[in-house]
Amino acid sequence: MAGSLNPKTEEIPKEGNGPTDEELVLKSQQGDMCAFDELVERYHGKIYGLTYNMTSNREDAEDLTQEVFVKAFEALPRFRSKSSFYTWLYRIAVNKTINYRKKRNRKRALSLDQFDQEIKADETYHDLTAKGSPLRNISLSELQEKLNEALQHLSEKHRTVVVMHDMQGVPHDEIAKVVKASVGTVRSRLFYARRQMQAELTEFMK
Amino acid sequence: MMDRNNNPETAAEDPADALLRQLFHLKVYENPDAARMIRNKQNIMRRVREASSRKHWSLADLLEVNIPWFFTEPKYGIAALFVVFAGLQYLGINSRNASQSHTGIYTVADGMVAFEQHTAVSTNTISYPKLPDNLSLFPDQQGDSGVKFVGRIEPKK
């Protein structure tokens, strides 16, 4: 189960490994619900991961994931394949999440998913909790909470690039297409977002 | 703050950034409950089916699905519309000419319109003997007054 939200471990099916996105989109546009079901199956984890990390609230993330797919289904006849389905869906998800947060006035308590038990077998976890690490005396849940709080203190545009790049592994050029900015702008946002998060977490680790 | 080369990516390699990356990496293990995710997917498909059943396809939707190039490349769309318009005009002109040449009302005749005789004869009229229209009363005498009887001789009933 670990890594189910991680695009690096969740390969998009290519030719020879089921129908391509283009084929499924075309079938869905012609009213084939099974094809759309397949698209939901394929991208549900990614979209949930994006909305969850953008909101740090699992109930909001579930609602938003539903909204994103319903919106995508309704807008599918107007999808013209200028960009990939994946980019188009991410754009819907980012816009929906930003609008949702604006409506809710950004004041939502954290509601976080549990860590998998497999985390204890992860090398990074061992490094972070080893003797000499600044985080050795901090519990995992405390760390999780602080990390999500720091994430929520970022502006929408900065959080979007951090979540997409550092948590979901989306490349800079894809992020640029999603947020409709240049690759340079994306890199710059990423740089400043990381600096801001470092500043927040350093304060916490003192 | 960027490094000497003003490259944010190179600057991101410092220990603080490495620590941040490690923390982000741990979020990979922050996973939702599988049962909740299955329910969420089911809810999505239920809502999608509801949306599908109440959806009324407009002409624009059908066109966009069936001929997407029409909207993707507006110049070709406009060109196609012009061709359709010109085609309809051509067909309209042809059909007008065809109607003028084939229907009886608009028949073009070179000379006078010739009525067929049998259609003009009524069936219940009496036929009369053929007589000259003017008869002289005193044809062989001198001093012809020039008065002529103009009349019609009818048979006894």
Question: pLDDT digit string (tens) for A75-84?
Answer: 888 887 778 8
pLDDT of residue A68: 94
pLDDT at residue A152 is higher than 80: yes
Structural tokens at position A48:
């949930």
pLDDT of residue A118: 75
pLDDT at residue A158 is higher than 70: yes
pLDDT of residue B145: 61
Distance CA B113, CA B100 (A): 17
pLDDT at residue B74 is higher than 80: no
pLDDT at residue A9 is higher than 60: no
CB contact under 8 A, A143 and B26: yes
How does the average pLDDT of chain A come out, rounded?
82
pLDDT of residue B130: 66
Sign of the torsion angle spanned by Cα atoms B75, B78, B80, B82: negative
Residues A75, A34: contact at Cβ < 8 Å?
no
Structural tokens at position A166:
């550092």
Closest CA to B20 of A60, A181, A195, A19: A195
- Higher confidence at residue A72 or residue B100? A72
* Domains, chain A, ordered by start: 21-104 (1.10.1740.10), 113-205 (1.10.10.10)
pLDDT of residue B18: 78
Tell me the average pLDDT across A159-174.
Answer: 92
CB contact under 8 A, B65 and A30: yes
Contacts of A78 in chain B (CB under 8 A): 64
What are the tens digits of pLDDT across the range B6-22? 444 444 457 777 778 88
Closest CA to B2 of A200, A191, A197: A191
Phi, psi of A20 (to 5 degrees): -80, 170
- Higher confidence at residue A163 or residue B140? A163
Q: Where is mean pLDDT largest: B5-19, B60-74, B132-146?
A: B60-74
Q: How confident is the model at residue A175 (pLDDT cuts 50, 70, 90)?
A: very high
pLDDT at residue B32 is higher than 80: yes
- Partner-chain residue, chosen from B31, B40, B64, that has the shortest CB–CB distance to A1: B31
Residue B11 distance to chain A (closest CA, Å) = 8
Distance CA B17, CA A172 (A): 18
DSSP 8-state secondary structure symbol assigned to residue B113:
P
CB contact under 8 A, B51 and A80: no
Contacts of A82 in chain B (CB under 8 A): 72
Residues A169, A7: contact at Cβ < 8 Å?
yes
- Higher confidence at residue B111 or residue B65? B65
Distance CA A180, CA A168 (A): 18
Residues pairing with B101 in the sheet: none
Q: Mapping DSSP to helix (H, G, I), strand (E, B) and coil, where does residue B76 land? A: helix
